[in-house]
Amino acid sequence: MQANPTLEQEELDVAVLTRLCESGPWTPDELRRELGLPALDAVMRLVEKGLAHRVDGREFVVASQSGRYVGSLGLAR
């Protein structure tokens, strides 16, 4: 059973998803430089939840259609 994410994790997930929706694709390393090392965990959580996809040999991350929909609702801000 997976533990519930903390508020800090959820805020980081929102920050990553917002960036992916507004100006993707990003590399995980770019997100790490912008948001810190925990951004890599956020990418993993978003991919696991289907809100983001890794593409091009896992080099780039983009928001999925579901992730863009959530972003368009303003729920990820």
61: β partners = 26, 54
Measure CA 7 to chain center. Answer: 15
Whole-structure pTM value: 0.83
Cβ atoms of 60 and 25 within 8 Å: the answer is yes
Residue ranges of domains in the chain, CATH in brackets = 7-72 (1.10.10.10)
Q: Is the confidence at residue 1, as pLDDT, over 70?
A: no
Give the mean model confidence (pLDDT) for residues 20-32.
92
> How does the average pLDDT of the chain come out, rounded?
86
Q: Tell me, what amino acid is at 38?
A: P
Q: What is the pLDDT of residues 52-74, one digit of tens each?
A: 999 977 789 999 999 999 888 87
**Residue 64: what pLDDT?**
95
Query: Comparing C-alpha atoms, which of 71, 73, 75 is closest to residue 22?
Result: 71
* Residue in the block written with tokens 């390393």: 29
